[in-house]
């Protein structure tokens, strides 16, 4: 089935190319992204190792004068998830795009239970230009067909349709001297009920990332985001917030905590240890080594649990990032870090992450 969907995506993309034959193609870019997630192993009773596991995304983006076509496929081994996307965008004063997507979770762990999940649908979006070099807004609407089944002794299936409206406003402010950047976002997600869609909810997500650049190479970043369930008449189980893991809360398991509200913040300091190294071994070149320290704090739960300070979890760690280039073209990064969950009885965790840039 995966091969058929991938072939269908490329055939559809080829069809769009025939329609746009009269346009001159500006650029063609291949998509190749590899991102390591995590699988936890206890090496000893007092030490935990996170073995790298890969998410691979491949595809192609063709940029014409007045339109853009993107086709991609992604597979994630940790969540056993496959994703297919075909997107077509027209460039007017307000960029307009339409997309087809299919997300399949062959086995998903949710609140310590296993599920099979599939969300596939069609969407359309409208985006404004960047005003004053800082602000932009986007709106989109999607219609999904979903299948959500618990894998236990008695299979409990939830399937049907859901209509989703997304609205986002972003601001990206940079000083002219390029030593400071503030990126903020306000995002609303609404489940629209109807004759075929029972779900009705409204989420508000607010995020901010404040970055200070020091001496041109070092930087201090402070990021925070808050998620709030404004309305909950009927909410899909997979829409609840999660917290934990390399991306959100160091030292804890992936998506260890769940809830209808979430707050998390991260403080990170990066320092360039060695730059322009130029050391080569055959086709591999070592470019730079960066060191960093990181502190995470967050909580998720209901409205009452969010008000209890003893519910907030904290994790901290430090590591190095090694930047390399293969054959003068392919850039990738190796990250090694040691983290500790401050709350509870968790043991130290060693992270290894591999990124193709």
Note whether 177 and 155 are same-domain residues.
Answer: yes
Other CB atoms within 10 Å distance of the CB of residue 212: 14
Q: Check if the beta carbon of residue 207 is closer than 8 Å to that of residue 215.
A: no
Give the per-residue pLDDT at 170: 96
Tell me, yes or no, whether 282 and 335 share the same domain. Answer: yes
Q: Is residue 22 part of a domain?
A: no
* Helix, coil or strand: residue 65: coil
Lowest mean pLDDT among 3-17, 53-67, 283-297: 3-17
Give yes or no: residues 281 and 346 share one domain: yes
Residue 2's pLDDT is 41
User: Which is more confidently placed, 103 or 36?
Assistant: 103
Mean pLDDT for all residues in the chain: 83
155 and 197 inside one domain: yes
Q: Which of 220, 235, 250 is the last residue of a domain?
A: 235
Kindly state whether residue 50 falls inside one of the protein's structural domains: no
Cα angle value 79/234/107 (rounded, 5°): 15
pLDDT of residue 12: 40
Angle at 301 between CA 295 and CA 305, to 5 degrees: 90
Question: Given 235, 269, 303, which residue is the final one in a domain?
Answer: 235
Instruction: Please tell me the predicted confidence (pLDDT) of residue 114.
Output: 81
**From CA 81, how far away is CA 254, in angstroms rounded?**
15
Q: Please enumerate in sequence order all residues whose Cβ is within 8 A of that of 65, keeping only pairs 6 or more positions apart, or say none.
A: 23, 24, 26, 91
Q: 193, 212, 235 — which closes off a domain? A: 235
Per the structure, the complete domain to which residue 191 belongs is given by 104-235
Same domain flag for 203 and 126:
yes
Residues contacting 354, CB < 8 A, separation 6+: 34, 36, 52, 54, 332, 333, 334, 335
Q: What is the pLDDT of residue 52?
A: 46
- Do 154 and 220 lie in one domain? The reply is yes
Q: Residue 284: pLDDT above 50?
A: yes
Asked if residue 209 is part of any domain, the answer here is yes
**Does residue 281 form part of some domain?**
yes
Same domain, 223 and 293: no
Q: What is the pTM of this model?
A: 0.78
Tokens of 73: 């496929």
Quote the number of domains for the chain.
Answer: 2
Same domain, 218 and 296: no
**What is the token pair recorded at 135?**
């602000």
């Amino acid at each position: 089935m995966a091969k058929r969907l991938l072939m269908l995506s490329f055939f559809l993309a080829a069809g769009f190319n025939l329609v746009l034959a009269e346009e001159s193609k500006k650029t063609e870019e291949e998509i190749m992204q590899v991102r390591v997630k995590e699988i936890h192993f206890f090496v000893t009773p007092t030490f935990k190792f996170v073995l790298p596991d890969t998410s691979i995304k491949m595809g192609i983006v063709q940029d014409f004068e007045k339109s853009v076509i993107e086709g991609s496929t992604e597979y994630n081994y940790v969540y056993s998830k496959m994703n297919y996307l075909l997107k077509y965008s027209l460039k007017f004063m307000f960029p307009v795009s339409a997309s087809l997507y299919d997300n399949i979770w062959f086995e998903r762990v949710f609140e310590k239970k296993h599920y099979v999940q599939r969300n596939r649908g069609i969407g359309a979006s409208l985006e404004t230009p960047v005003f004053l070099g800082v602000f932009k807004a986007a709106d989109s609407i999607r219609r999904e067909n979903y299948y959500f089944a618990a894998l236990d002794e008695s299979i409990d299936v939830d399937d049907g349709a859901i209509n989703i409206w997304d609205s986002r406003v972003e601001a990206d402010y940079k000083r002219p001297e390029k030593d400071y950047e503030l990126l903020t976002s306000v995002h609303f997600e609404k489940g629209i009920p109807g004759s075929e869609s029972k779900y009705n909810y409204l989420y508000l997500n607010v995020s901010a990332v404040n970055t200070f650049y020091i001496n041109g190479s070092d930087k201090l970043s402070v990021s925070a985001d808050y998620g709030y369930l404004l309305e909950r008449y009927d909410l899909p189980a997979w829409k609840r917030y999660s917290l934990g893991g390399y991306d959100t809360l160091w030292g804890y398991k992936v998506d260890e905590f769940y809830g209808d509200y979430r707050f998390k913040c991260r403080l990170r300091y990066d320092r360039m240890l060695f730059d322009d190294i130029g050391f080569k071994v055959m086709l591999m070149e070592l470019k730079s080594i960066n060191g960093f320290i990181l502190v995470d704090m967050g909580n998720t739960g209901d409205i009452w649990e969010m008000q209890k300070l003893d519910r907030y979890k904290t994790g901290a760690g430090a590591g190095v990032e090694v930047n390399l280039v293969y054959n003068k073209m392919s850039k990738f990064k190796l990250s090694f870090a040691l983290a500790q969950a401050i709350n509870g009885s968790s043991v130290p965790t060693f992270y290894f992450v591999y990124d193709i840039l």
